[in-house]
Amino acid sequence: MKTIIEPFRIKSVEPIYFTTRKEREAILQNAFYNPFFIHAKDVLIDLLTDSGTNAMSSHQWAGIMEGDESYAGSESFFHFEKTIKDITGMPIVIPTHQGRASEKILFSIIGGKGKYIVSNTLFDTTRANIEFSGAEGIDLLCEEGKLPEVPAPFKGNMNVEALKKTIHEKGAANIPLCVITVTNNSGGGQPVSMQNIREVKEVCRENNIPLFIDACRFAENCYFIKLREKGYENKPVIEIAKELFSYADGCTMSAKKDAIANIGGFLAMHNKELADQCRNLLIITEGFPTYGGLAGRDLEAIAIGLNEVMDEHYLRYRIRSIEYITEKLVAAGVPVMQPAGGHAVYIDAKLFLPHIPVEYYPGQALVGALYIEGGVRGVEIGSLMFGKYDKNKKLIPAQMELVRLAIPRRVYTQSHIDYVTEVIIEVFNKRNDIKGLKIVEEPPMLRHFTAKLKIAGEHTN
Ligand SMILES: *Cc1c(COP(=O)(O)O)cnc(C)c1O
C-alpha cells in the first residue's frame, strides 16, 4: 500500500518560531513548569489540544466572507440548521458559542439535586455542568476501557450491565438523561461501537430515559465503526453517522472539534417542550435562536466543516496520523495507550518515569521535558489535573498519570509528526535525568490551568 498522504495542499502558511534549548529552559521556569503559561509563540509544535485549533479549508474561509450577519433569520443559520438536521435527523437545532454552553443550558433544565446522569465517561466540562446543577454524574465505562496498554476495538463502550444495575439502584425516575460521549475523550479518544449504542438505547427505552450523544468527535467515531465493526465496512461515513444519531433523542456538540471550526457548538433534539425551555435560556445567555452566541460567518464555517469532516480521505489521514505516532512509539518501547485513539496520543508517564513518585507529578515532569527537548507542548492528564487531597493534605492520586499529545485537525504534516516522535524518543532515552515537580501555588478548582510548580530536586530519587 502507498503512503497515506495529507488530503490537501497548502495555500496559506503560518510561521512557527524556533527557540534554543537554553531559551526554552528559561521560558519553562518563568512559566512555573505549567504549559498553560507558555506563550504560544514560544511553542514549536503545539499539541496542547485539538479544540478550536483546526485549520479551516478554502471553502470555509469563503463561507466566512459569505456569512450573513443578520440578527434574525440569517441565511447562514438556515444552512447550519439544514446541515445538522440532515446528519442527525433531529428536527430542532439550537446554536451555542461552544460545547459547554450547550451543556449549561441542557443541565440547568434537566439536572438538579437528587438526579443522576449516567454515561460511558462524562467529559470534564459536562461533569462540571451536571454537578453545578446539583446533580451527580456517573461514569459506567466498559472494563477494557480502563486498561491503557491492553488493545481492544471499542474501549469507549458503556458497560450495559452496570447501566442496568445503576438504573435499578437509583431508580429510572431519578435519571433524566444518559449521555454517550463519542469518541470517549477522557478515556483516550476511544470509540463506541454501534452495537453498544443500540444496546444502551434499548435499556434507556425500556426505562424511559432519553439518550443524548456528546457528539464532539462523531465523525472520528463513525470512521472507527467503519474500520472495526462488522457490517459497516462498505457503508459511507454519512450513513453510519445517520444511524448513530437515529438512536439518540438529542445531542450536544462542540464545533471546535469535528466541525473543523475555531469556535461554536450546538444542541439538537426531537423533544419540542425541552427545546422551548432550552431556547428560553439561550436568549438570556447566548442570544437569539438563529445565532446563539455566534457570528453568521461562524455558522457558515461550521456548516461547511461538518460536511468536510465526513470525507473519508480526510478521516483516513486523520486516524492514520495518530496511529502512525503510536506505532513508532511502541516500536521504540515508549509506553503508550493502545490502540491509538481518534485525536490524541497518550503516554503513560508512570511507566515512562518510574523513578518519580506520583506525589512529584511524573506527567507534568514529562510535559516539561518534551518542551525543553523540542519545543513540543502537550498536557498532563493525571494527578495534577485530577488529584485531590485527604484530611492530612496528602495527595490522593488520579487513576492514571498520562501525557496527552492532541493533534489539531489538518494543521501539521507528516514531517512535523516525525519530528514529534523523535523528540519523545530522545526524551525517553534520557528519562533517568528527568526530575519530579512540586506545587508552590494552586487554586482550589481546576488547578492544572493555573498551578505554579518548581523542580523538586533530590526528593525524587
Ligand atoms: C471539548 C469537549 C466538550 C466541551 O466543548 P467546548 O467547546 O470546549 O466547550 C464537551 N465534550 C467533549 C467530549 C469535548 O471533547
3-state secondary structure of 113: coil
C-alpha 280/C-alpha 92 separation (Å) is 14
C-alpha 329/C-alpha 351 separation (Å) is 13
3-state secondary structure of 77: helix
pLDDT above 80 for 460: no
Which residue bears the cell 454517550? 180
Q: In CATH, which of 2.170.130.10, 3.40.640.10, 3.30.43.10, 3.40.50.10860 is domain 58-308? A: 3.40.640.10
Exposed e or buried b per residue across 236-261, where buried means at least 16 C-beta atoms within 10 angstroms of its C-beta: ebbebbbbbbebbbbbbbbbbbbbbb
Q: What is the best residue among 129, 254, 258 to mutate for testing ligand 1's pocket, by most ligand atoms within 8 Å of CB?
A: 254
Per-residue pLDDT of 24-60, as tens digits, reads 999 999 999 999 999 999 999 999 999 999 999 999 9
Distance (angstroms) between ligand 1 centre and the Cα of 178 equals: 17
Per-residue pLDDT of 337-382, as tens digits, reads 999 999 999 999 999 999 999 999 999 999 999 999 999 999 999 9
pLDDT above 90 for 122: yes
Per-residue pLDDT of 371-410, as tens digits, reads 999 999 999 999 998 888 999 989 999 888 999 999 999 9
Q: Tell me which residues have their CB closer than 6 angstroms to ligand 1.
A: 51, 98-100, 123, 125-126, 181, 185, 214, 216, 254, 256-257, 265
Q: CA 34 → CA 100, 370, 383, distances in Å? A: 24, 12, 14
Strands (E) located in 1-41: none
pLDDT above 50 for 461: no
Among candidate residues 308, 421, 342, the one with its CA nearest the CA of residue 7: 308
Q: In CATH, which of 3.40.190.10, 2.40.160.20, 2.40.160.40, 3.90.1150.10 is domain 21-50+311-455? A: 3.90.1150.10
CATH 3.90.1150.10 residue ranges of the chain are: 21-50+311-455
The structure's pTM equals: 0.95
Distance (angstroms) between ligand 1 centre and the Cα of 124 equals: 8
Distance (angstroms) between ligand 1 centre and the Cα of 181 equals: 10
Per-residue pLDDT of 183-228, as tens digits, reads 998 888 999 999 999 999 999 999 999 999 999 999 999 999 999 9
Tell me which residue has its CA closest to atom 5 in ligand 1. 99
Cross-sheet strand order for the sheet of 250-254:
92-96, 265-269, 250-254, 211-214, 177-181, 116-119, 136-139
Which residue bears the cell 461547511? 304
Distance (angstroms) between ligand 1 centre and the Cα of 2 equals: 35
Strands 92-96 and 116-119: unpaired
Distance (angstroms) between ligand 1 centre and the Cα of 260 equals: 13
Report the atom number in ligand 1 closest to the C-alpha of 101: 9
Residue 129 in contact with residue 100, Cβ under 8 Å?
Answer: yes
CATH 3.40.640.10 residue ranges of the chain are: 58-308
Distance (angstroms) between ligand 1 centre and the Cα of 101 equals: 10
3-state secondary structure of 375: coil
Tell me which residue has its CA closest to atom 6 in ligand 1. 99
Q: With the C-alpha atoms ordered 68, 215, 412, 401, is the resulting torsion angle positive or negative?
A: positive
